Amino acid sequence: MAPKKQHKMKKTVVYTYGVFDLFHKGHVELLKEAKALGDELIVGLFTDEVAESFKRKPVISLKDRMHLIQHCVFVDKIVVQKELEPDKIIKKLKPHILAKGPGAGWEENEEIPGEKTMKKIGGKVHKLGYHHGISTSQIIKKIQDQKENT
């Protein structure tokens, strides 16, 4: 009897990216949603300098944000994203799906940064939903308000 051939199954790779500062429930839900799109989730973390260039300097350092994200059960790999646009990383990693939450690059009817590159490599783009009720900006505002009221 001939041995059974083992077929290598091609894994669907999903890429998402962001700052992930003051890691909270909204981040967890976003990563969970991204992971559900494929077999492997790679997360690009913006450097502090990139985050500051379009938003603000992160409260949590890149090193510490990497530590938090790498211990999230949905994440398979982390890469440092040194540019706002993800095109270089997409060309290198060639993910099947680019999953991106709103803000920091797109609004409701805008193209997601990296979308053109994904189309060029034959990949898909998936816009992740916004999880209302919590955001890093809301957390910071709440802390500031509490500080002012003490």
| Residue 7 located in a structural domain | no
The residue with tokens 């999880």 is 131
Q: Examine residue 123 and state whether it is found in any structural domain, yes or no.
A: yes
DSSP 1: -
Indicate whether 8 belongs to any domain.
no
pLDDT tens, position by position, 45-103: 999 999 998 877 899 999 999 999 999 999 999 999 999 999 999 999 999 999 998 76
Task: Give domain status of residue 3, yes or no.
Answer: no
Q: Residue 29's domain spans which residues?
A: 13-148
Q: Rounded to whole angstroms, how far apart are CA atoms 97 and 5?
A: 29
Model-level pTM? Answer: 0.83
CATH code at 113?
3.40.50.620
DSSP H or E run through 15: strand 13-18
Identify any residues that bridge with 79 across adjacent strands, giving them in sequence order: 44
- How many structural domains compose the chain? 1
**Is there a domain that residue 56 lies in?**
yes
